[in-house]
């Protein structure tokens, strides 16, 4: 008999999957290796096991009746209570009759002729199913401790993830706990209450703080009771699956006192997510994050009396949140007890397990019992533990050997009709998993219903969609502090496992929107076959860099009128207002504001000097703003960044603006300023004849034209030019205008508005306005031309790079995937632009070091 769906696992995910699919009329069975339902909460029976997301949140929301029937006794329920809850759910919806317990799925292979999965269990059965769904859990495969001599030990050993069902009594015993992750931190205080002696072996200290557990607070009950449906909906669209106010300010913008008050409140809340939400940049900026780390280290020092033990317990090798933080009850206080000691295995490495205990490099310990709290082979472990073979016998374990490749964390190319619930590449372990599980099950159920209605037999993601998603998952992780830690999120706890960031960190709400979007766009990126033929709308669902996308949403939420509908005065005022409160950029050695002679009167400039010893090369910088808006100060954070990373003096100089001073006033001022800076290089602290040009947008246009004028005048000598999203032409017919002319801040109509203010139609084709139209580009200084994928100006930047290359100029072309016109100058706002900013700075240094600026004209886009 062929069933519609076989699910693996009877935890939170498998139970809801079974209920939902059954209610939609799909014949569904579940296989579970445990003796009963519960998953995580069946296996993890160690003392102190409890959830660390509040139970009211960490529970199903699909049935209002269930929500009213079940009342949690505590804010953070214990393992037995959560297990009772899942048992209650199984009874209420009569789920057990379709679950085969104490049975392990060993292999699953796709039969392409029959269009079904052949699933084998350890009982030797074969089950035939059209769809195969792994609801096998992210943390269900305990990691075997990588300590030599494990089987030599004669005393009692316990694994937190496979705890016995009968009570374990440590009274009067000498006990060791190996591992100080969540399970260790929860169990240590309780084991210490019983044991005669407790020795904790710690490799990596984790951040933990008090849970302040107790009854569900009146405030929480009120918030939930006021409108459960609205409360749940808020959770579904939140960052981590729990409704929570996010603080939009950045940690370093607050005063030390304000920060301390915020952190004290977060600490007192006993809420796992409170520190991550305390400021907008805690999980993004190392400097901001360090303020939390030090706050929490001080808390540890204030609790643990022995200073050496306190320091050993202070995490230093990862940022707060980059490893799953813990909530505890009296964890640090436990180390003040006379019979509890900590062994820091980084200082005193574990050598071997012996018959009687544990040998370290310097001591031998004897124990009556050893508790291994050594964690899990997370996320991918339980999936690849099953021998899964897709189309043409392709092995999933082999496909994922270099890290999991999924589309949305739900599907993977080459494995038709195969889904993973909370799979790698989905928010999963970074969220309240009850919310993420329901979202995945609902999405899959809707998808299967759609396939049934449309008479479709198979579904599978395309290679393009999958590669795009993997890229997006990495892009999201790369702007955070997470990838720097050796965490189980990175697979770093399992020897030999490829180090990649496994979950999706873009947030639960945003992820839900993406999944909905995929479905609404005719299941974009998913290929179907069916009785009526094959069907696929291929494409990428997330093309913008994640921080660019967030910025665009934020700006959209402000509801501002388009700039081109404003007067010039209003547009300038708005531009200044938008700059207030932006991150300041790095500190530089010195900043001087002064004036220099322009073509028609004095111009203000700002000089940024590096802190290293001078003299330094000088980079002349022109700001953007369509020749109409902005000033020497408008790209201040970017100029600081450039100064620090290029180790050059950066001089950002004003030029006259249109419409008051139309073309060629800006160009004449740019050239006059450059000549003056070159002539006064020594006085300014610069190295004579080490001068380069840089500009962004309209400033890139000025920098390019100044280089042409300097070449024609034989002076000043310019070592190189960096043109960032430059205006090089007045032609609006290029593809990038058609593709990116609306929705990405710089629009076609705004560009029209700039040109209209700047230059008469007849002047626009003048090479001093459109440098791409210069009759001869030979003999220009080496150039780095930088463009962004979603910029209307992208193709004219590329055209200029190509024209320079054809004229024999040494050119590098640096395209930037997923970025918009303003990305690269938005220091500490668009973190994904930091790689390009580093390349720009390196190119500037290269201008002044013979031979290091390499000719490399790349198309890339
Ligand atoms: C100690 C602990 C505390 C946690 N606390 C929280 C919390 O507070 N909040 C939160 O959001 N998350 C928490 N989690 C994460 C937790 O795993 C999830 O919240 C949730 O329970 C996962 O449900 P699941 O059904 O997806 O997987 P699981 O509960 O892990 O269930 C998967 C089941 O699949 C079975 N299985 C796997 N492979 C096979 C196979 N080949 N054949 C047959 N059966 C198989 C396993 O036996 C297991 O029972 C915690 C995890 C742990 C370990």
Quickly count helices (H) and strands (E) in the chain.
Answer: 25, 29
What does pTM read for this prediction?
A: 0.94
How far is residue 520's CA from residue 377's CA, in Å, rounded to a whole number?
A: 35
Q: What is the pLDDT of residue 854?
A: 52
SS3 324: coil
Nearest protein Cα to ligand 1, atom 16: 40
Q: What is the pLDDT of residue 248?
A: 86
How far is residue 371's CA from residue 46's CA, in Å, rounded to a whole number?
A: 10
Instruction: Please tell me the distance between residue 53's alpha carbon and the centre of ligand 1 in angstroms.
Output: 14
Nearest protein Cα to ligand 1, atom 22: 137
How far is residue 144's CA from residue 157's CA, in Å, rounded to a whole number?
A: 13
- Contact residues of ligand 1, CB 6 A cut-off: 8-14, 31-34, 39-40, 42, 44, 49, 51-53, 58, 104-105, 135-140, 182-183, 382, 386, 421-422, 432-433, 437
Q: Please say whether the beta carbons of 465 and 541 come within 8 A.
A: yes
| Strand duo 364-366 + 601-609: pairing | unpaired
Nearest protein Cα to ligand 1, atom 24: 137
For a substitution probing ligand 1, which of 6, 7, 8, 9 has the most ligand atoms within 8 Å of its CB?
9
pLDDT tens readout for residues 397-449: 999 999 999 999 999 999 999 999 999 999 999 999 999 999 999 999 999 99
Instruction: Please tell me the distance between residue 38's alpha carbon and the centre of ligand 1 in angstroms.
Output: 8
Complete DSSP assignment for 619-657: EEEE--STTTS--TTTTHHHHHHHHHHHTSEEEEE--PP
Instruction: Please tell me the distance between residue 42's alpha carbon and the centre of ligand 1 in angstroms.
Output: 9
Instruction: Please tell me the distance between residue 342's alpha carbon and the centre of ligand 1 in angstroms.
Output: 30
Instruction: Please tell me the distance between residue 239's alpha carbon and the centre of ligand 1 in angstroms.
Output: 21
Nearest protein Cα to ligand 1, atom 23: 12
pLDDT tens readout for residues 583-595: 999 999 999 999 9
Q: Which helix or strand (DSSP H or E) is residue 406 part of?
A: none
11's CB contacts (< 8 A; 6+ apart) are 37, 38, 39, 40, 41, 42, 86, 135, 137, 140
Complete DSSP assignment for 788-836: EEE-TTHHHHHHHHHHHHHTT--EEEEEEEEEETTGGG-TTTSGGGHHH
The minimum-distance atom of ligand 1 relative to the CA of 9 is 34
The minimum-distance atom of ligand 1 relative to the CA of 44 is 1
* Of residues 728, 705, 845, the one with CA closest to residue 786: 728
**C-alpha to C-alpha distances, 860 to 513, 614, 798, 813, nearest whole angstrom:** 30, 37, 10, 9
Nearest protein Cα to ligand 1, atom 30: 137
What backbone torsions phi and psi does residue 485 show, to the nearest 5 degrees? -90, 150
For a substitution probing ligand 1, which of 39, 49, 421 has the most ligand atoms within 8 Å of its CB?
39
What backbone torsions phi and psi does residue 389 show, to the nearest 5 degrees? -120, 125
* Of residues 438, 536, 473, 566, the one with CA closest to residue 58: 438
Query: Average pLDDT by consecutive 10-residue portion of the chain (861 residues)?
Result: 97 98 98 98 98 97 96 97 98 98 98 98 97 98 92 96 96 97 97 98 97 93 92 97 90 95 97 95 95 98 98 97 96 98 96 97 97 96 98 98 97 98 98 98 98 98 98 96 94 92 96 98 98 96 96 91 95 93 93 98 98 97 98 96 98 98 98 98 94 98 98 96 98 98 97 98 98 98 97 98 96 97 96 97 92 50 36
What are 87's two structure tokens?
């048992």
* Of residues 213, 186, 425, the one with CA closest to residue 324: 186
Q: What is the pLDDT of residue 627?
A: 98
Instruction: Please tell me the distance between residue 584's alpha carbon and the centre of ligand 1 in angstroms.
Output: 44
R_g (Cα) of the chain, nearest Å: 31
Nearest protein Cα to ligand 1, atom 4: 51
What backbone torsions phi and psi does residue 514 show, to the nearest 5 degrees? -65, -45
Instruction: Please tell me the distance between residue 615's alpha carbon and the centre of ligand 1 in angstroms.
Output: 61
Q: What is the pLDDT of residue 857?
A: 42
Burial of 166 (0-12, 13-18, 19+ CB in 10 A): exposed
Nearest protein Cα to ligand 1, atom 18: 433
How far is residue 162's CA from residue 469's CA, in Å, rounded to a whole number?
A: 34
Instruction: Please tell me the distance between residue 353's alpha carbon and the centre of ligand 1 in angstroms.
Output: 29
Nearest protein Cα to ligand 1, atom 41: 105
For a substitution probing ligand 1, which of 139, 182, 185, 241 has the most ligand atoms within 8 Å of its CB?
139
Instruction: Please tell me the distance between residue 430's alpha carbon and the centre of ligand 1 in angstroms.
Output: 14
Q: What is the pLDDT of residue 269?
A: 96
Instruction: Please tell me the distance between residue 421's alpha carbon and the centre of ligand 1 in angstroms.
Output: 11
Complete DSSP assignment for 188-242: HHHHHHH-SEEEEEESS---EEE----SPPHHHHHHHHT-HHHHHHHHHTSSSSS
SS3 528: strand
What backbone torsions phi and psi does residue 175 show, to the nearest 5 degrees? -120, 140
Q: Please say whether the beta carbons of 686 and 653 come within 8 A.
A: no
How far is residue 182's CA from residue 208's CA, in Å, rounded to a whole number?
A: 9
- Which one-letter DSSP state was computed for residue 161? G
Q: Please say whether the beta carbons of 695 and 702 come within 8 A.
A: yes
The minimum-distance atom of ligand 1 relative to the CA of 386 is 41
The minimum-distance atom of ligand 1 relative to the CA of 46 is 1
* Of residues 500, 511, 449, the one with CA closest to residue 470: 500
């Amino acid at each position: 008999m062929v069933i519609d769906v076989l699910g693996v696992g009877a935890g939170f995910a498998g139970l809801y999957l079974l209920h939902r699919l059954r209610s939609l009329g799909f014949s569904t069975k579940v296989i579970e290796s445990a003796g009963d339902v519960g998953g995580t909460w069946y296996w993890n029976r160690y003392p102190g096991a409890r959830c660390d997301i509040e139970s009211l949140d960490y529970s199903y929301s699909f049935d209002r009746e269930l929500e009213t029937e079940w009342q949690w006794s505590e804010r953070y329920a214990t393992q037995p209570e959560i297990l009772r809850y899942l048992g209650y759910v199984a009874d209420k919806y009569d789920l057990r009759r379709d679950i085969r317990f104490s049975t392990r799925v060993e292999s699953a292979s796709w039969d392409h002729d029959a269009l079904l999965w052949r699933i084998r269990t350890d009982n030797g059965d074969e089950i035939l199913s059209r769809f195969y769904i792994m609801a096998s859990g992210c943390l269900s495969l305990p990691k075997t401790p990588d300590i030599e001599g494990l089987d030599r030990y004669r005393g009692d050993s316990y694994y937190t993830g496979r705890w016995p069902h009968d009570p374990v009594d440590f009274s009067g015993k000498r006990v060791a706990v190996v591992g100080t992750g969540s399970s260790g931190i929860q169990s240590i205080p309780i084991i210490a209450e019983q044991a005669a002696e407790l020795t904790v072996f710690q490799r990596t200290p984790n951040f933990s703080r008090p849970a302040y557990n107790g009854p569900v607070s009146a405030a929480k009950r009120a918030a939930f009771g006021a409108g459960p449906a609205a409360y749940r909906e808020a959770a579904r669209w939140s960052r981590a699956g729990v409704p929570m106010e996010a603080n939009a300010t950045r940690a370093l913008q607050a005063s030390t006192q304000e920060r301390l008050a915020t952190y004290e409140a977060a600490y007192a809340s006993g809420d796992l997510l409170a520190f991550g939400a305390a400021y907008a940049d805690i999980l993004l900026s190392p400097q901001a994050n360090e303020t939390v780390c030090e706050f929490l280290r001080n808390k540890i020092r204030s609790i643990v009396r022995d200073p050496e033990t306190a320091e050993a317990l202070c995490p230093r090798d990862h940022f707060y949140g980059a490893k799953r933080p813990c909530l505890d009850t009296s964890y640090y206080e436990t180390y003040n007890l006379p019979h509890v000691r900590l062994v820091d295995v980084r200082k005193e490495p574990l050598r071997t397990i012996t018959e009687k205990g544990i040998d370290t490099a310097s001591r031998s310990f004897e124990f009556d019992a050893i508790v291994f709290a050594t964690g899990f082979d997370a996320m991918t472990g339980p999936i690849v533990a099953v021998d899964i073979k897709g189309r043409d016998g392709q092995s999933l374990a082999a496909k994922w050997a270099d890290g999991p490749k999924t589309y949305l964390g739900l599907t993977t190319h080459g494995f038709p009709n195969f889904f993973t619930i909370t799979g790698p590449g989905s928010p999963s372990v970074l969220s309240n998993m009850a919310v993420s599980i329901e979202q995945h099950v609902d999405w899959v159920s809707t998808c299967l219903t759609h396939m049934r209605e449309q008479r479709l037999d198979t579904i599978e993601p395309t290679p393009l969609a999958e590669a795009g998603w993997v890229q997006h998952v990495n892009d999201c992780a790369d702007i955070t502090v997470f990838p720097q830690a050796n965490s189980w999120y990175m697979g770093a706890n399992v020897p030999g496992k490829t180090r990649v960031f496994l979950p999706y960190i873009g947030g639960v709400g945003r992820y839900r929107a993406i999944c909905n979007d995929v479905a609404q766009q005719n299941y974009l990126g998913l290929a179907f076959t069916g009785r009526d033929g094959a069907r696929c709308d291929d494409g990428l669902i997330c093309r913008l860099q994640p921080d660019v996308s967030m910025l665009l949403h934020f700006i959209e939420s402000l509801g501002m009128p388009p700039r081109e509908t404003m007067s010039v005065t209003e547009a300038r005022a708005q531009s200044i207002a938008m700059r207030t409160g932006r991150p300041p950029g790095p500190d530089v050695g010195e900043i001087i504001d002064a004036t220099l002679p322009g073509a028609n009167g004095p111009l203000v400039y700002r000089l940024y000097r590096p802190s290293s010893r001078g003299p330094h090369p000088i980079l002349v910088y022109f700001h953007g703003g369509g020749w109409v808006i902005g000033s020497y100060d408008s790209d201040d954070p970017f100029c600081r960044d450039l100064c620090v990373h290029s180790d050059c003096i950066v001089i950002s100089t004003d030029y006259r603006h249109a419409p008051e001073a139309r073309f060629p006033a800006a160009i004449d001022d740019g050239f006059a300023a450059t000549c003056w800076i070159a002539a006064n290089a020594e006085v300014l602290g610069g190295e004579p004849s080490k001068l380069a040009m840089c500009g962004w947008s309209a400033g890139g246009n000025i920098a390019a034209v100044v280089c042409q004028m300097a070449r024609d005048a034989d002076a000043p000598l310019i070592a190189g030019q960096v043109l960032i999203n430059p205006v090089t032409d007045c032609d609006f017919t290029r593809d990038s205008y058609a593709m990116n002319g609306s929705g990405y801040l710089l629009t076609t109509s705004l560009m029209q508005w700039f040109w209209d203010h700047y230059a008469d139609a007849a002047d626009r084709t003048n090479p001093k306005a459109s440098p791409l139209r210069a009759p001869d580009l030979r003999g220009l200084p080496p150039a780095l031309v930088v463009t962004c994928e979603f910029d209307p100006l992208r193709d004219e930047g590329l055209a200029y790079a190509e024209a320079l290359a054809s004229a024999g100029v040494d050119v590098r072309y640096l395209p930037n995937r997923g970025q918009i016109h303003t990305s690269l100058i938005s220091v500490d706002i668009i973190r994904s632009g930091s790689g390009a900013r580093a390349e720009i700075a390196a190119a500037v240094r290269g201008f002044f070091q013979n031979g290091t600026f390499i000719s490399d004209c790349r198309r890339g886009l």
